[in-house]
Chain A
Amino acid sequence: MTRNERRQLAKGMLFISPWVVGFALFGVYPICMAVYYSFCDYDVLRSAVWIGSENYTDMVSDDVFWKALYNTLVYALFSVPLGLMLALVIAVLLNRPILGRSFFRTFFYIPSIVPLVAVAMVWLWLFNGDLGLVNFGLSLIGIGGPQWLADAAWTKPTLILSSVWQVGGAMVLFLAGLQDVPKSLYESADLDGASPFGQFWHISVPMVSPVIYFNLVMGIIGSIQEFVKPFVMLPGGGENRSALLFAVYIYENAFLYGNMGYACAMAIVLFFIIAFLTWLATRAMNRHVYYAGD
């Protein structure tokens, strides 16, 4: 390396150093410490005591850990596809030349910029078993609504239904993807007599498949880490901890009960679960994703 190259390198390093230092301090260091603490009895106030794999073996025999994991996977299993489908359908509809298209695009995106605590409070009232608008609407068609938030059988569906509020972000990405689809493809399909659904299924969906893949992975990560809504709407996980999600259980252990070591161990497990599901999604989508540049 010449002196000039070294100088260039030093300058380059200098300019990226704020990010590198920030990432090392606030990203790498906490992750490394979380891994270390996951092998410790650590309550934040006292120094950590190394206990080997005890936190992990405790997890195996902790019923609530398995329940929280089950609840989270059920939530992800339903909320991710539901959110994807809804976002895609809305995006397709808003991609059509309809009156007030810009207004509707903004209208459907607005909920995504509302703070999640406010969203949770709104859902709390919508799903209120006595005064809620959802049950009032159901009563108009002769259905006695359930106790959405107080009945163990309905708490998870309540959380899943409330997740539709957050489809705005995915919808915008789908919309961008749909606008990139060449019009000539639809014109050809029209000439060949393809139905609107056929055009959607055989042209729109394959052409936006990279966006579907991206939204799927983001959806999986987001839903496995879901925290604010269950935390606000169903404190303690609701009846029989039926809606206790993994991230909430981690929070309870870390910040309410001072079991930071155990919480760190669960966070590490959560990381591997997310990594595995992301890998699974990548494998599953691999053959179905079409990249125009390939």
Chain B
Amino acid sequence: MFSIFRSTLRLGVAFCLVLGLSACREAEREYTDDGRLIVSYWEHWQGFEKEAMQAVVDDFNASQDRIFVKMLAVSQIEQKFVLATAGGVPPDIAGLWARHVAPFAEKGALIPLGPYLAEAGITGDQYIPAIWDLVNYRGLTWALPSTPASIGLHWNKRMFREAGLDPERPPRSLAELEAMNEVLTVVDVRRDGQTQRVRYTELTDAEKADKDFDIVTMGFTPNEPGWWTGMNGYWFGAELWDGERQLTATTPENIAAVAWYAGYPEKYGVDNLKKFGASFGGNFASPQNPFLDERIAMVLQGVWMYNFIDQFSPQLEWSATAFPVDDPEARPNTTIVDCDVLVIPRGAKNPDEAFEFIRFVNQQKNMEKLCLGQRKFSPLREYSDDFVQRHPHPYIELFIDLANSPNARLMPKLPVGEEYIAELLNAYSLAFGGLSTPEDALAYAGQRAQWKFDRVNRRWDQTGEMRMREWRGVDP
């Protein structure tokens, strides 16, 4: 019997050894059959955007006899990235969003690219300034862009024409947006026992006050899609933090933005707006998108919106322009710029080779191929003469101009940026539902986010100096 025990014990030890060896092997470099080093690359894109990047990866692999980049599309990449990096088995390259740069850099999950950039001769002045700003944090560069985006107002020309508006004249100020919204909004109202379909401007004062109507179509509603609601203050010239350690949620401009947002339910009725919003079904990438099925005439969207128009509603008569602001003379071409980025995680097995690929992507020819494939614009300041002509997006120049605008704004580059935006979003939601005043809602949001920011800053005070020495001393 004891021999069974010994045999089983041996088996167990062998199993553990195999496990251990597998773990060791995991840390080794892997090669293709023809001897090329395999560089693993996780990317968040799916569908045609992934295919566009795959084409660039294929070009890179074809140009190489030393490196082979293996791309893997990964859903919920930020969570898997954190776990893989914490576990010591990250990919060599990760395609993330710019909003991840600050928190992941702060937490030591990324390799600073400074020495690589110096060696490759890549400098910030080769990029659109707002985009270069996105990949920098605490004075160091942590990522290089892949494809960028800026956002603007998209409008439906047919709906403008039917409402008696000039289809070539979009709103420039928020006041104009409001006025056009009233004309473009169509409601069902009960009159003398009958349901009548009329424009909002045709309602009597009593009907407007009662708000006893159903919204059929709207000119604009600020919570569709609501992806940048926390940054609505930018349309009023607001700052969300002082650039140092103080969040500035309660500035007059931010309060004005929340008041503007809360003005919609005051005018159109909170239940009416909620019911109208529920009718969208929540699926952006579908023909039921309210802008694509012409239930909303104007929407704040990014450069990518063209892809969905082309796919789901090619007959749509549309155009795009800068989103209206409170004072268009003072702040023309205001936009929010975002970017997909390529980073090298700390613990990557092949950082040098990883950078070689990132550098390849950031060469003008390859970047333009990627951006044409994803139908976005290049993050590089210079682009080839025929880039715009070859580009399928009819208004791509507008989005390039917006990204280059001095009024291009960014999501706050804070380690608690996402939490701050979530708190601001809650503040907007409270005011929208009539559950709080703009002042109180923002004070609460600012206080909660500041509490979190202070905590991060306390830790930075203890470890920041050491971190900066470590980061600046990184030797590629």
- Which residues of A approach B to under 8 Å, CB–CB? 7, 10-11, 14, 41, 43-46, 49, 58, 63-64, 124, 128-132, 147, 149-152, 236, 239-241, 255-258
Contact = CB atoms under 8 A, between A and B. Distances in A.
Contact of A11 (B5, B82, B277, B435): B5
Given A130-B279, A255-B79, 11 more contacts: A10-B5, A14-B8, A45-B86, A130-B278, A147-B271, A147-B274, A239-B429, A240-B426, A240-B429, A240-B433, A241-B426
Interface stretch (B233-241, B399-407, B414-422): B414-422
A151 B418 contact: no
Contacts of B279: 130-131
Nearest to B86: A44
A227 B67 CA distance: 44
Nearest to B280: A130
B430 A149 contact: no
B348 to A, nearest CB: 14
Contacts of B425: 236
Contact of B278 (A45, A147, A256, A258): A147
Contacts of B418: 256-257
B373 interface: no
17 contacts: A7-B2, A11-B4, A14-B5, A44-B82, A44-B86, A45-B108, A63-B448, A64-B448, A132-B278, A150-B274, A152-B435, A240-B426, A241-B426, A255-B82, A257-B416, A258-B82, A258-B107
A244 to B, nearest CB: 10
B263 interface: no
B309 to A, nearest CB: 24
Given A129-B274, A131-B279, A240 B430 contact: yes
Given A14-B5, A41-B459, A151-B274, A131 B419 contact: no
Given A44-B86, A46-B108, A130 B275 contact: yes
B440 to A, nearest CB: 12
A257 B419 contact: yes
B75 to A, nearest CB: 14
B281 A128 contact: yes
A45 B459 contact: no
Nearest to B346: A45
B85 A45 contact: yes
Contacts of B107: 43, 45-46, 258
Contacts of B103: 258
Category for how many chain B residues contact A:
35 or more
A147 B275 contact: yes
B206 interface: no
A151 B276 CA distance: 13
Interface of B: 1-2, 4-5, 8, 79, 82-83, 85-86, 103-104, 107-109, 271, 274-279, 281-282, 416, 418-419, 422, 425-426, 429-430, 433, 435, 448, 452, 455, 459, 462
Nearest to B110: A45
B402 to A, nearest CB: 29
A58 B454 CA distance: 12
A58 B79 CA distance: 25
A49 B2 CA distance: 47
Contact of B422 (A152, A236, A258): A236
Contacts of A241: 426
A243 to B, nearest CB: 13
A27 to B, nearest CB: 19
A49 B275 contact: no
A44 B275 CA distance: 41
A44 B79 CA distance: 11
A63 B423 CA distance: 12
Nearest to B419: A257
A150 B282 CA distance: 12
A150 B278 CA distance: 8
B4 to A, nearest CB: 8
A183 to B, nearest CB: 51
B215 to A, nearest CB: 10
B78 to A, nearest CB: 9
Contacts of A257: 416, 418-419, 452
A149 B281 CA distance: 12
Given A147-B275, A149-B278, A239 B433 contact: yes
A144 to B, nearest CB: 9
Contacts of B429: 239-240
Nearest to B462: A49
A46 B86 CA distance: 8
A255 B426 CA distance: 19
A7 B1 contact: yes
A25 to B, nearest CB: 12
Contacts of B452: 257
Contacts of A255: 79, 82
Which among A43, A124, A147, A257 has the greatest number of chain B C-beta atoms within 10 A?
A43
Contacts of A14: 5, 8
Nearest to B433: A239
Contacts of B82: 44-45, 255, 258
Contacts of A64: 448
Q: Which 3 A-B pairs have the closest CB atoms?
A: A129-B278, A45-B107, A130-B279
Contact of B109 (A45, A63, A130, A240): A45
A152 B459 CA distance: 36
Contacts of B459: 41, 49
A236 B103 CA distance: 20
Contacts of B416: 257
A260 to B, nearest CB: 10
Nearest to A145: B275
B194 to A, nearest CB: 18
Contacts of B282: 124
A222 B282 CA distance: 29
B269 to A, nearest CB: 12
Contacts of A130: 275-276, 278-279
B43 to A, nearest CB: 20
A200 B332 CA distance: 75
A63 B444 CA distance: 10
Contacts of A46: 107-108
Contacts of A149: 278
A10 B435 CA distance: 66
